[in-house]
Amino acid sequence: MTDSPALPAVNREWHLLSRPVGRPEPGDFALVEAEMPVPGEGQVLVRNRYLSVDPYMRGRMSAARSYAAPFTLGEVMQGGAVGEVVASNAEGLAVGDHVLHFLGWREYAALDARGAVRVDPGAAPLPAYLGVLGMPGLTAYAGLLRTASFREGDAVFVSGAAGAVGSQVGQLARLKGASWVIGSAGTDEKVRLLLDEYGFNAAFNYKRAPVAEQLREAAPDGVDVYFDNVGGEHLEAAIGSLNRDGRIAVCGMISVYNDTEPAPGPRNLVRLIQTRGRIQGFLVGDHEDLRPEFVAEVGRWVRSGELKYRETVVEGIGNTLEAFLGLLRGDNTGKMIVAL
C-alpha cells in the first residue's frame, strides 16, 4: 500500500441522530470524531477537499420509501465529494490522484477504487466536478434534452432558476436554440443574475406576486417546456401556461420537502387533456449513458465561457450542516459547496 505521511488521528464526520419532522433542526445531527479509516484490499483513502450538499438529501433523512435508501440513524451520511488520494491499496489509483466519489459529509473516506472516478484538476477546478460538470449538470442536460424532449424553438420555463441545476437548464435551452427562456428565483438579485449573466429572456421574483400571474406576463405566448425544481404553486402555474403538446420534466419539488402533511396537487390537471401535455419525473442515475456526451459538450461551453456558473462556498467541515440548511432556505446562488 502507498500512502502519504501525517494523517490526523481522528476523522470528523456528520451523523444523523433523529429523523427531522418538518424543517431539519441542528439537534437532528452531530459532528462526531471517529477513527481514521484504513483502506482495505482494492480500496483507497481519500482526503475530501470539497463536499456537496443537495436538496435530495432531505428525502434520505426520512424513513419514507423513496428512490434512495434512507440515511441510517447514528451513522455517517453520504453525498458527493471530490478529493485527493492519500493512500492506495488498489491498482489504477495512486497517491496524488484526484477523484469524485459519494462518501461525503466527512473529512476522509475509505472506498473501493471502482467507486471513484478520476478527475483532472487541470481541466477544470475541483468544485466544478460537483456542480456544472457533475451530478447537477448532468441532471440539467438529461432532464431538458431527454425527459422534456427539448426542440429548437421551444419556449422554456425553469423554476429555481438560479440554483445549480436550474441555471444550467436555462443556459442549455438558450444555447440549443430556445425561442424564449423564463426563470423564477426568490430574490431580485437572483433575477438580475438570470437576466444579465445567464442570458434568460425573462425572469421574476416568485415572492412578489402570484406565480401564475407573473408567468403569464413573462411568457404571454405560453411555454412548451417546464423544468420543475420547486413544485407547488409553480407546477400549477406552468400547467396553466402550457402550450399544445407541452412537456413538463419533474426534477425536484423543494417547496414541499419539509411538509408534514401531503401537499395538495395542482388543481388544473384537466388542462393536460386540452393541451395533450405530459408530466414526467426523472432521476439522473437513469441517464448515465449521456455522461460522455454531456462532459464533451458542456465542457466545451464552460471552457469557451458560453455557459456560466456560480458557486456558493462554505468553509469548514463544521459548517456542512449550516450549508445544507442554507440550501433549503435558498441562501445559495448556484451550487452549494463545502470547502475543507
Q: How far apart are CA 164 and CA 180, in angstroms?
A: 20
Residue 103 identity:
L
Q: How far apart are CA 45 and CA 60, in angstroms?
A: 25
Q: How many CA atoms lie within 13 A of 146 on its CB side?
A: 19
Tell if the pTM clears 0.85, that is, is over it. Answer: yes
* Per-residue model confidence (pLDDT) at position 259: 62
* Per-residue model confidence (pLDDT) at position 260: 60
* Per-residue model confidence (pLDDT) at position 119: 92
Decide: helix, strand or coil at residue 28.
helix
Q: What are residue 35's phi and psi, to 5 degrees? A: -65, 145
CB of 100 closer than 8 Å to CB of 14: no
Residue 251 identity:
C
Q: Report which of 215, 251, 219, 260 is spatially closest to residue 233, judged by C-alpha positions.
A: 215
* Per-residue model confidence (pLDDT) at position 294: 95
Q: Report which of 152, 162, 286, 301 is spatially closest to residue 225, judged by C-alpha positions.
A: 152
Q: How many residues does the chain have?
A: 340
What stretches in the chain show pLDDT beneath 70? Answer: 1-5, 257-260, 262
